[in-house]
Structure 1
Amino acid sequence: MILMTFILILLVSQNAYAFTLIIMGNTLLDYYEWGIFENPKHWFPKLTNFVLKFLFGMGPYFYKKFHQQDHSWLMRKALYIGWYLLFSVICIVFYSVLNLIL
């Protein structure tokens, strides 16, 4: 039960942050990147990076990938929304299958 709750929290946080990126775009991405430490040497910045990437990392990763392509703004948003919908369906199916197994 605790494992399923943890997995659900992880999937919901990934989806919520990815959806918020659709609305806020580069502003939210800038805040995410400000929270990431470049080449951390101490355990605390490494832990902070791990937590941020573990909880919110999928959305910013794909948002940056689509932003680097030479498409118009509208096409990049459309590609990202398509990825977001696919990611949401995969998360729902993944959680449902795990719920049946466990």
Structure 2
Amino acid sequence: MTLETLERIEELLIYFLGVQVIFSILVFLLGRIMLDVYEAGVSEKPKTVFQRTFTFVINAFFGIGPYLNKKFLKYSFFKRKFFMLISIVVQLFASIIVYYVIKNLLRAIFL
């Protein structure tokens, strides 16, 4: 595997982790607006292969923000926003750690 291929894989990883964090921030800031857009593309109980595939892709790219918001719905508005902010900070640091671990593993294996 060449250095360019590894760089493209790392860029895809940055994209994936970045989209998760950014969508979580948007759910934190915009709340119901972003959740309505998310829920428009996700089927609760998908029946067809197309619905299952589309729901899996949407959950894979945007799933953590709506998932955390759903978990925090039992709290009051201010507690929910505080917990969401804390979870975004944790998610950001976890994404950075995951990126560097995977990057170093790929470079150790293929270079």
The TM-score, its normalising length taken from structure 2, stands at: 0.83
- Percent identical pairs in the alignment equals 29
CA distance 1:72–1:40, change in 2 (3 Å) = closer
Unaligned stretches of 5+ residues in structure 1: none
Aligned to 1:36: 42
Aligned to 1:5: 11
- Is 1:95 matched with 2:95? no
Unaligned stretches of 5+ residues in structure 2: 1-5, 107-111
- Is 1:20 matched with 2:26? yes
Amino acid at match of 1:21: V
Residues 46-90 of structure 1, C-alpha deviation per residue, up to 9 Å, x if partnerless?
1110110000001100011011x2x32111100110011001100
Q: Secondary structure at the match of 1:40?
A: coil
Q: Kindly state the Cα deviation for residue 10 of structure 1 after the two structures are TM-superposed.
A: 1.1
Structure 1 runs (4+) greater than 3 angstroms displaced: none
The number of aligned residues is: 100
Q: Kindly state the Cα deviation for residue 41 of structure 1 after the two structures are TM-superposed.
A: 2.1
Aligned to 1:78: 82
Aligned to 2:63: 57
Amino acid at match of 1:100: N
Higher Rg: 2
Aligned pair partner of 1:45 in 40, 44, 51: 51
Residues 14-65 of structure 1, C-alpha deviation per residue, up to 9 Å, x if partnerless?
0110011111001211221121123222211111101100000011000110
The TM-score, its normalising length taken from structure 1, stands at: 0.89
- Aligned-residue CA RMSD (Å): 1.2
